Amino acid sequence: MADTLTPARPPDTRRPKAGKLTRQDGAAHVFMAPWLIGLVAVTALPMFASLYLAFTDYNILSSPTWVGTENFERLVGDDRFWSAAGVTVTYVLVSVPLQLAFALALALILDKGLRGLAIYRSAYYLPSLLGTSVAVAVLWKQIFGFDGLINQALALVGIEGQNWLQNPDTALGTLIVLNAWTFGSPMVIFLAGLRQIPEELYEASRVDGASILRQFASITIPLLTPIIFFNLILQTIGSFQAFTQAHVISSGTGGPVDSTLFYTLYIYQQAFVNFDMGYASALAWVLMVVIAIITAVHFTLSKRWVFYGD
Amino acid sequence: MTAPTLDSRRSPSTPGDPPERTVLPSVRRVRRRNSILRHSGLILFGLFMLYPLAWMAVSAFKPGYLVLTDPSLIPTELTLENFRNGWYVGNLSFLVFFGNSFVVAGSAIIGNLISCSLTAYALARLNFRARKVYFGIVLASVMLPMHATMIPQYIIFSELDLVNTFIPLVLPKFLATDAFFIFLMVQFIRGIPRELDQAAFVDGAGPFRTFWYIILPLMKPALITTTIFTFIWTWNDFFGQLIYLTDTSVYTVPIALNALVDSQSNQGVGTLMAMSLLSLVPILCFFAFAQKYLIRGIATTGLK
């Protein structure tokens, strides 16, 4: 707004040099004001408050009391914490590779100048758009229920189904399938990446007599590693924070026998069902540190396998 | 198969003969067969993927007793009974919940558009101290899980007596907490030729005028992408709305749907499918209209 008050500078035809440009600190901070306020009030302060709360006992009604590292000690002996961690790690380790493998395979099939690409891409992408909704979680509950579609289909081939969601051995599997079903969004990113690979490389290698497999291993995959890495980071971080599906399918319990107790679901239960805000904060901080470490490890390891062209 | 589609990559100007001209008829026949095989495979797989959604849509219109006994997609009997049964949660109708969801999503969109574009413009174009540091903070906050801040945030809003209002869900958007969109817009503005705003500057326009008259109109694709993704994320959001909205009168669609699932009364599967289907209609409409932008947005930014 300040600009309307400053008098117009005389027209200057010389190209201004970057270093000579007047500093715009004031204007910049006016533009960034909303974000700066948000950064302090909605992100930074709550973050530190959350760290503080992790060392307190707090139930919202009475004021927090400092308990030192008690929450973290309690964590170590808490069976549900360990099962939540186990469920979440299993989910991430199985569902992320599965989803990315689907995404890459379909992207490769769709890549080669295919008629009707736009239609396939949209159809395969649609589940990604709906996948985190309550509606699809409700749908999944029906499909894998005892009378659900899966068992009806199995009955057609003479196999007697079971209640997939009531069985602790299979309940998590249904959520992994749900996640794999949403491979469309990494697929679209893979497709965009494949399009960046110069056709000349393939032509040159064809001249040299390289087989399709050889081309895939020596051209496609190496040039695609930045995209694979990007998708891997994105899906890993996202999967650690999965919540909706597990909450809806288990009616908020994480059952049966905690087999779908995602870590975020456990935080939710402690914070907003038991109102054990101190303990929940400790849980949240553990999650944040774990995600930060895993992301850092990903980035460190990426130097060995991600190939950035020049 | 060899005919280039609009979407096929590589420039059409690539020199060289179209392969068709030199291939033998038998080779062409093999190619055609391969192409048919590939398309059949892709179509089958697509149908398999979309089957659950189709089943949901059909079940919504089937009478209750048929939903679980007849898996076919061709209903023998049609009814709207499921929609009637699910329409009310408590004594409020889904009309209220849809209204609430639209208010929340609409406000979130306005908030994100204003706050993120202002910040992005400053970061991309203004010359100020510690610009890189600020940008680094934006990138770091993209990766920060919401769980690190959500408990104190809840406590603050609860102290301010704002639980069961839309403010906890909407206010952060006006404060640019969805940092991903700042990043997206910065990247976009960097693609706009600098000469344009430099010329405006030279002509005496200040930063605000330059932003409003030059940059903002050119940012339209980035603004559209932001609008679409904010809508979809907010519409699908469950966690935030579950925490803050506990009175039926402020329920949004996902919360109402969840309540319907949990309700003790014997909701038939058909009813659940009917209301689930309804809850997806706005997203499906958005998808139908904005598909092009959506795919482009996700391809360039990795949003989903």
Q: How many CB atoms lie within 10 A of CB B160?
A: 11
Q: What is the pLDDT of residue A266?
A: 97
State chain A's mean pLDDT as an integer.
Answer: 90
Q: What is the pLDDT of residue B122?
A: 96
Q: What is the pLDDT of residue B302?
A: 62
Q: What is the pLDDT of residue B6?
A: 37
Q: Judge whether B48 is closer than 8 Å to chain A, CB to CB.
A: no
pLDDT greater than 80 at residue B3: no
Contact A264, B147 (CB under 8 A): yes
CA atoms within 13 A on the CB side of A126: 24
pLDDT band of B301, cuts 50, 70, 90: low
pLDDT band of B265, cuts 50, 70, 90: low
pLDDT band of B303, cuts 50, 70, 90: low
In this structure, of A265-274, B152-161, B254-263, the range with the lowest mean pLDDT score is B254-263
Which residues of chain A lie closer than 8 angstroms to B141, CB-CB? 39, 43
Contact B42, A120 (CB under 8 A): yes
Q: What's the complex ipTM?
A: 0.87
Q: Is the model more confident about B85 or about B105?
A: B105
B151 to A18: CB separation less than 8 angstroms, yes or no: no
* Angstrom distance (rounded) from CA B55 to CA B62: 10
State chain B's mean pLDDT as an integer.
Answer: 87
pLDDT greater than 60 at residue A293: yes
In this structure, of A144-158, B21-35, B163-177, the range with the lowest mean pLDDT score is B21-35
A189 to chain B: nearest residue by CA?
Answer: B299
Percentage of chain A surpassing pLDDT 90? 77
pLDDT band of A310, cuts 50, 70, 90: low
pLDDT band of B267, cuts 50, 70, 90: low
Q: Judge whether B131 is closer than 8 Å to chain A, CB to CB.
A: yes
Checking DSSP bridges between strand A56-57 and strand B88-89, what pairing results, if any? Answer: unpaired
- The torsion angle over the Cα atoms of residues A162, A167, A172 and A178, rounded to 10 degrees, is 30
Q: Is the model more confident about A103 or about B18?
A: A103
A34 to B118: CB separation less than 8 angstroms, yes or no: yes
pLDDT greater than 90 at residue B153: yes
Length of chain A: 310
pLDDT greater than 90 at residue B100: yes
Q: What is the pLDDT of residue B11?
A: 42
Q: What is the pLDDT of residue A3?
A: 42
Q: Judge whether A230 is closer than 8 Å to chain B, CB to CB.
A: yes
pLDDT greater than 50 at residue B59: yes
pLDDT in tens, A1-47: 344 444 445 444 444 444 445 778 899 999 999 999 999 999 999 99
pLDDT greater than 80 at residue B135: yes
Q: pTM value?
A: 0.88
Q: Judge whether B8 is closer than 8 Å to chain A, CB to CB.
A: yes
A129 to B151: CB separation less than 8 angstroms, yes or no: no
Q: Judge whether B44 is closer than 8 Å to chain A, CB to CB.
A: no
Show which of residues 73-112 on chain B sit within 8 Å of chain A, judged by CB atoms. Answer: none
A129 to B287: CB separation less than 8 angstroms, yes or no: yes
In this structure, of A24-28, A234-238, A286-290, B70-74, the range with the lowest mean pLDDT score is B70-74
* Angstrom distance (rounded) from CA A310 to CA B163: 52
B184's enclosing H/E stretch is: helix B179-190
Q: What's the whole-number mean pLDDT along residues B270-288?
A: 93
A3 to B119: CB separation less than 8 angstroms, yes or no: no
Which residues of chain A lie closer than 8 angstroms to B261, CB-CB? 138, 141, 248, 251
pLDDT greater than 80 at residue B8: no
Which residues of chain B lie closer than 8 angstroms to A6, CB-CB? 206
pLDDT in tens, B185-209: 999 999 999 999 889 988 888 899 9
* Angstrom distance (rounded) from CA A170 to CA B24: 53
Q: What is the pLDDT of residue A88?
A: 97
Residue B131 sits at the vertex; the CA angle it makes with B128 and B135, to the nearest 5 degrees, is 150
A133 to B14: CB separation less than 8 angstroms, yes or no: no
Which residues of chain B lie closer than 8 angstroms to A230, CB-CB? 302
